[in-house]
């Protein structure tokens, strides 16, 4: 087994230090996609928060639109009641009616209220949608918030290579670096390695934050085609028998390596993301899931095993 994973990594070249694994909180308070309030509730997600903290995971990613603000409210409440400092990343959504720069400040103010903090380490733009408010205006407004101290770093999400470069250039003029780009990345979705995003991020010193690093549970090995996920995922053809069969080479490799390292397939899949140089933020709806996710750090895949997964995941 290789050396252990680092205890912290920087967001961007010289940005805030965060844990190499985070927790995605989309499911916290979301009733539409994740069935919050039916199969799990505030008690379970609070347990997930506490279990993550106890395992040394202190990076939590949320957004104003998750559960229509409920995710931020829950996270803020949990963090306030806990003695361990946490690193919160949240997101601004460029809705069509958000035209003027002041709305960025107002939206951030509302997020800070829900999170019960005066400043956050990372504020991200949830989508590159810029039809009504152009990127220069948006990045100017975000740079102003950095100068005022209400956010420590600026990130983006779902930005292409060219969009990321444009955001970087606008921020750079104001002396503010672009810290991160949060994108879909896992063993089952490696598009960013071939569409310029990965290469551009390395060039600009932008950290890749990987959402859905377990492909919404597909990489856990739990689903076989007969066992169905809950919520909207039940309708996704990837969870049907034909979809599971297509990814079986990846699942088989994960299971083999899980035995070698005495880990779970999910922990191997997350460690692969870390070895690739990105920060995975898997979701956790309860303490068990949080504890399982945390098992992805403190160790590292050997280089030849990383290469094996690289090859088998080229589906």
For the annotated catalytic residues, the residue numbers are 66
CA dist., res. 230 & res. 37, Å (int): 13
Residue 199 CB partners (closer than 8 Å, separation 6+): 161
The answer to whether 248 and 255 are in contact (CB under 8 A) is no
CA dist., res. 227 & res. 217, Å (int): 12
Residue 203 CB partners (closer than 8 Å, separation 6+): none
DSSP 8-state class, residue 179: E
User: Alpha carbon of 298 to those of 56, 115, 240, 271, 274: distances in Å?
Assistant: 10, 29, 34, 9, 11
Among positive and negative, which fits the CA dihedral 220, 225, 229, 235? positive
Q: What are phi and psi of 154, to 5 degrees?
A: -110, 135
Q: DSSP readout, 247-290?
A: THHHHHHHHHHHHHHT--HHHHHHHHHHHHT-EE--B-SSHHHH
For residue 137, which of 112, 174, 165, 111 has the smallest C-alpha distance?
174
């Amino acid at each position: 087994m290789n050396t252990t994973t680092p205890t912290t990594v920087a967001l961007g070249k010289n940005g805030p230090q965060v844990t190499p694994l985070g927790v995605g909180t989309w499911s916290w308070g979301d009733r539409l996609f994740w069935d919050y309030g039916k199969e799990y509730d505030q008690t379970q997600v609070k347990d997930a928060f506490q279990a993550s903290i106890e395992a040394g995971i202190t990076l939590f990613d949320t957004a104003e639109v998750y559960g229509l603000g409920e995710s931020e409210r829950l996270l803020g409440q949990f963090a306030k009641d806990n003695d361990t400092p946490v690193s919160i990343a949240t997101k601004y959504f460029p809705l069509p009616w958000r035209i003027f720069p002041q709305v960025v400040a107002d939206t951030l103010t509302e997020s800070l209220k829900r999170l019960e903090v005066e400043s956050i380490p990372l504020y991200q733009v949830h989508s590159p949608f810029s039809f009504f408010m152009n990127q220069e205006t948006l990045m100017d407004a975000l740079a102003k918030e950095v100068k005022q101290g209400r956010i420590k770093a600026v990130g983006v999400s779902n930005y292409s290579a060219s969009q990321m470069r444009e955001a970087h250039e606008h921020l750079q003029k104001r002396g503010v670096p672009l810290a991160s780009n949060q994108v879909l990345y896992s063993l089952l979705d490696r598009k960013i390695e071939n569409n310029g995003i990965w290469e551009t991020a390395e060039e600009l010193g932008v950290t890749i934050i990987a959402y859905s690093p377990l492909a919404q549970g597909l990489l856990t090995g739990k689903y076989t085609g007969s066992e169905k996920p809950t919520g909207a995922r039940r309708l996704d053809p990837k969870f049907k028998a034909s979809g599971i069969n297509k990814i079986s080479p990846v699942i088989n490799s994960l299971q083999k390596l899980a035995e070698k390292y005495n880990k779970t397939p999910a922990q191997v899949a997350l460690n692969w993301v870390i070895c690739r140089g990105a920060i995975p933020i898997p979701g956790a709806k309860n303490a068990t899931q949080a504890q399982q996710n945390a098992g992805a750090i403190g160790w590292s895949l050997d280089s030849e095993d990383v290469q094996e997964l690289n090859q088998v995941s080229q589906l």
